[in-house]
Structure formats: C-alpha cells, structure tokens
Structure 1
Amino acid sequence: MIASARLSISEKGTITVHQQLNIYHMVGVLFPVGRDKTGVLGVHRLRAAGRYIESDCDELRHLFPHVQRALALRERLRHTVLAQGAAMDALERVDTGVLVVNASCVVLYANRAAERLLKSSSEIRTHLQCLCIDDPALNNRMARLVRDAVWTGDGKAHAPGAALAVPRPGRLPVTLLVVPWRENWTNDSASQPAASIFIRDPEASGPGACETLRELFGLTRAEAAIAVAIGEGQSLDQIAATFGVGLGTVRTHLKRALAKTGTSRQGALASLVARSVAGISPQT
C-alpha cells in the first residue's frame, strides 16, 4: 500500500557515484515486496534539470501503486512457477501412476510410473492412445467413471470420484482412483475438461527402493531386496524361488530386516516399506 511507503527527496549530490554519472537529484521510495524483500523506486535528474519539488512527488505517488502491483504479481508468478516445478518433479518420482484423460479416455498425460505400469500390465493398457481394460465390463465401468469425473470438472455433474479394482489371476489386483480434474488444455483457445486417474500396482516397487531402504535402516542388499519383496506381497516361498535360495536363508534375512527396522511382523514390515520414502525415486 502507498500508505506503508514514504516518499523522500534527496538534496543534490553528496555521493561520488552521483557526481560521476552527473546525477544530482533523486526522488524515491522504499516499500515491502514479498517476504523479507524491499523494493526501491527511484527517479533521478541531472544537475541542470533542477531539484524535485512536492508536485514531482505527487506524480510519483500516482505511479507507485502500479509499480507495486506489478512487482507483487511477479512475486506471485514466481511462486506459481515454483509450485508447478515441484509438482512435476513429485509426479515423476512417486511410484503411483498418474494419468490425465479426456472424456473418451484418451491419455493426455502420463507420469513415468504410469508408463511403466501400462507397459508391463496385460490387464490395463493403452490402445490408439486410449486407456482401456481387457475385461469389457470393467472397461465400460472405467469409461463411465471417467465421463462422470469429466462432467463434474466441467460443472455438469457432481461425482467426487470412485475407485476400481482390476483383478489379475494369481496376483494382487491393480487399483484405480478416478477423480475430477480440470486444467487449461488449450485447443483452439478452448478449455478441455479432463479426469485424473491414479493407478497403483501393489506388486511393483519404484526404482531405487532397495537402495533407499538400505540408507534408511542400514540393511544389506539381500535384506533390502527381501523387504521390498515383502512389501510387494510376496510369500517367503515365492521370495526363495525368485532369488534361488533356501527358505531358511530367506527367514534369516527377514529376521535381521525386522530387527533393523524395528518391526516384529511381516505385515508391519510391508506397511513400513509401503509408507516410507522408498516409493519415491531418487533418480531424476
């Protein structure tokens, strides 16, 4: 606000740099800009132009609010850019697949986790850029949830979002959450409403999970690998077969992993792995 700033007129040059630049008169103001920042607005005159008078200050008072608003807008834009950068960085690191689709299930955006999941899954995939599920009934339900979410984002309906499980024979299901979302996807200057889909595969860990667990709890490579496998829902027999070791060896590594992580049961270890930062990739 202009009330928070004080306009002042300096006498003619007493600073060497002013004399070197032939600047002898100045009228200016200091004002707060954002957190721990101060803005400076100054107007200078050559010696021959004469001193500033009160009417000059009045003209600056008319200009000052516009300058202050422009600087405040720049500060808000800086925070917006920072927030967008942080959001994109987070989206590319988490082990949750995130997609943005339109009403026809055409994928407009997919983060790395979503791309990995869609490439490895045989139950849910993309076909001609459209997200689809092999099971016709589940595919129709997903399409309906997406349309409801898109219409909600466009203000034509009220559907807060819904979840969907995609079964896999002999494996844990892939789970989806469809929610309304809207952003300015420019298409001939028209805004395109969309839906967000979050996908998680409980049997897929993010890259770098083992190394992160080793850093967190001091696990050996074998202990970390078994902890990750436990977090993915594998049984001890499955882990032994996967790593080509005996069941007793798996039990020994598991016992040590439980002790180092402060857990006492496989379920607690699985929960710790799932809820820790092991699911966030340190790789950029």
Structure 2
Amino acid sequence: MRVNHQMAARAGINADAIPTVYGAVLERLDTGVILLDAAGHPAFINARASRIVAAADGISADATGVSAASGAATRALRAAVAAVAAGQVPSRRVYLERPSGLAALVVTVIPLDGIDDGAPRVALFIIDPAAPVRIDTHALGAAYGLTPREASIAALLTRGADVAQAAGTLGIGVSSAREYLKRVLDKTGARRQANLVRLVLRGFADSPV
C-alpha cells in the first residue's frame, strides 16, 4: 500500500487508516488509482498508478497535486477534480494527451462518499489504452473447461495475434492451432473469433479496462 504520509498529513488525512479502509483491494487493481483530498492533494497511489506516473508520459503526481503534460490539460484535470469534490457532478472523465504520441490516458474522477472525515475525498482511475492486455487464462480455463493450451490460444488471439502467430508463439503447427481454436469456440459458445475476443475482453482481461 503506497501511502504518502507527508502528503496525507498536509491534507489532514489519517494515513494509518487508509490501508485498513482500502486494504489490498486497490493494489490488486490493474487500473491506476490515486486518492486525493478535496483540494486535489494525493494521499495514496497504487502500484499501477505509480508505474504510469513514473513513465512521465501524460500525468504526474506530487505534493502540489496532479498535473498533465500541458497547462491546458492540467487545468482541465484539476477542474474535474474540483467539480467532483464539490459535488457539482457525479463523475467526470478526462483524456490526457501524451508527449510520446501513444493513446491518451483515460482518467475517470469519482467522489468517495460515505467515509469518515479526514479520509480521501476523490479517486482518480487511470487507464492506459496502450498497455498490453493481460488475460487471466486460469480463470478463463476454469469458466469454460478449457485446457491450458486452449486458454493460451484464446488469450493470444485476444491480444491481436492471428492463428499463425499464435501457433508460432506456442511452438505448434497452424493446423493444430486452428483445431484448438475450434474447440475453444465450441466450449465458449462463441460463433466467431470476433465474438470470442469480446467475451474474453469483457470477462477475463485485467488491462486496459
């Protein structure tokens, strides 16, 4: 749990209570999460958000608040935080352009209602659309009775590989890969490969979400 005690103290937040309230749940998310006080000062950042911030490509976070790559984007982000914290809107989504030219970061700002005084008031959920999709092949296999090889084929196709590329990655022939794909489609009830990809992304993809 990455609680910044100095930031928390400046925001009047009981940092020691944050792990108890939020625990390991936020750390397990593959979405970046930053918790802020009503003034926009960070008190908590999970592992995924730490990596996004460390990349210095679209968003930064320090004791002064959260910032974007440009002045205009920073103003838009902070205005969204202020509006949500003040209860003016139920949530707000901001798209932050990145100097690298990769797809914009998607930041959803939501209020943290119904928690004690002194706790964080606003949460930022940060999605990096350019991040590779991670598929939970164990859960996928368990849900549909897929063998490890069948689940791997489904995961590779969902990440954008074609059948030949998936076969090469797994060290099998293309005809074998096609047979595995046929079994996957039968077991999942997906009529086509596109349906399979949608099914996997909706239920078994960790990132992006």
Scaled by the length of structure 2, the TM-score of the pair is: 0.61
Displacement of 1:177 in angstroms is 3.0
Instruction: Give yes or no for the alignment of 1:196 onto 2:196.
Output: no
Match of 1:118 among 52, 66, 83: 52
Percent identity reads 25
Separation (CA, whole Å) in 2 of partners of 1:253 and 1:104: 54
**Matched letter for residue 80 of structure 2:** A
Structure 1's 238 and 279: CA in aligned 2 closer, same or farther, altered over 3 A? same
Does 2:43 correspond to 1:108? yes
Deviations 1:151-207 (A, max 9, x none): 113428548302427679998x46523214256684xxxx7654422325463216x
Query: CA 1:101–1:229 in 2, change beyond 3 Å: closer, same or farther?
Result: farther
Which consecutive unaligned segments of at least 5 residues does structure 2 have? 1-19
Consecutive unaligned residues of structure 1, counting only runs of 5 or more, are 1-83
Which whole-Å CA distance do the structure 1 matches of 2:140 and 2:54 have between them?
24
Contact 1:149 1:178 (C-alpha < 8 Å) held by counterparts: no
Match of 1:161 in 2: 92
Match of 1:229 among 141, 150, 156: 156
How big is the shift at 1:275? 2.1
Check conservation: 1:99, 1:197, Cα contact below 8 A: yes
How far apart in 1 are the matches of 2:96 and 2:164? 26
Taking the TM superposition and a 5 Å limit, the aligned residue runs for 1:30-179 are 88=23, 90-101=25-36, 107-115=42-50, 118=52, 123=57, 136-137=69-70, 140-141=72-73, 143-155=74-86, 158=89, 160-164=91-95, 173=103, 175-179=105-109
Indicate conservation of the 8 Å contact 1:146/1:178, yes or no.
Answer: no
Separation of aligned partners in 1, 2:161 and 2:100: 15
Instruction: Quote the residue 1:219 is aligned against.
Output: 146
State the alpha-carbon separation in 2 of the partners of residues 102 and 108 from structure 1.
7
TM-score by length of 1: 0.48
Structure label with greater radius of gyration: 1
**Structure 1 residue 263: Cα displacement:** 0.6
Give the aligned CA root-mean-square deviation in angstroms. 4.3
Residue 274 of structure 1 and its aligned partner are, at CA, apart by: 1.9
- Which AA in structure 2 matches 1:272? L
CA separation of 1:218 and 1:98: change in aligned 2, threshold 3 A: same
* 1:99-155 alpha-carbon deviations (Å, 9 max, x no partner): 32468976532334445x63896845757687666xx45x852x2343122211342
Q: In the alignment, does 2:185 pair up with 1:258? A: yes
Secondary structure, counterpart of 2:132 in structure 1: coil
Change in Cα spacing, 1:228 to 1:111, as seen in structure 2 (3 Å) is: farther
